[in-house]
Amino acid sequence: MNSKISILIPTFNRERYIKEVVTSALNQTYKNIEIIVVDNKSTDNSWEILKDLAKNDGRIKLFQNHINIGPVKNWKRCIDEATGKYGKILWSDDLIAPDFLEKTIPFLKENDDVAFVYTGTEIFFERSMHKKQVYFIGDTGIYKGEKYIAGVLFDGDYPVSPGCALFRLIDLRKNLFVDIPNKIGTDFSKHAIGNDLLIFLLTAHQYRKFAFVNEKLSFFRAHEESITIETQNDKLILYYDLVKAFFIENFREDLIPKLNAYIWLHHKNMFNSKIYPLKSVENFYLKNCNFKVAWSWIAVIIIQKIIERFFRTLRIIFREMLACRLRK
């Protein structure tokens, strides 16, 4: 039975990080792996570093595009070159713990109804050395797929990047969309913001469950050249919301009123702006004609934020009172 895991590393101009990234793949305690690295015609020293690494380990399979084909097409080539049953996308500036595969693979091998498995993650900020833990949702185990779908659609602490997850390769092949149709003319194949989330959403929709490992086994590097740092925050929100609308109007029409409310909250200040071609919630959909807004959900969100702000203020007051007493 094929239990090989393909670790997929698409890369472009990552000479500062690529050796450390590939090494974190090579150091996996789960040994039935291949490492697919596709260099997108780097202009720095990345390719030379990769060739030196490949000389010493036959598990590394190197490919280089003749021209830069854009980030998402490069992801696709990684998937196309892979021969494993399972696929682990490892971005060329991120890392995984040595036991990442060992602790995630059992959930997919033993459970046909589990869509994917992901782990707790640490984001480390290169400049400030600040660290932040994300995506910790509870105990290690199997959860209903709806928990992920609802959580990631409506701002729960769920991953949009598959860099912390393990999938079946067949699902990566099926659910990576190079192009995502939209009304505002943005090219998802070029900016690569949202294609990652759609992999998760489509796969979660096609299975009943997903799995989570309550350990810090994935490490995301935040630096000036990373997509999430380089892209303005309002653009990130816009692109991800376009993808959410694409998914919901095609697969989950029952969630349209709630997403309409969510989009309205996110973008009411951007409607009719000169920067983005947005006039209303309608611009986020291609064919949906239901623009009913779940105002009750908006009311709940506002109340939650008021309560959170109230308790945050109380904590600050108590800390200041305690500090005053200690000074006395």
pTM of the predicted protein model: 0.89
**Ranges under pLDDT 50 in the chain:** 229
Q: Which residue has the tokens 């185990």?
A: 141
Q: What is the pLDDT of residue 235?
A: 85
Beta 165-168 vs 114-125: how paired, if at all?
antiparallel
**CB 192, CB 72: distance < 8 Å:** yes
- H/E element, 116: strand 114-125
Q: What is the pLDDT of residue 299?
A: 79
Reading the block at residue 22, the tokens are 């590939």
Q: What is the pLDDT of residue 232?
A: 63
- Structural domains present in the chain: 5-230 (3.90.550.10), 233-293 (no CATH)
Residues 6+ apart with CB under 8 A from 304: none
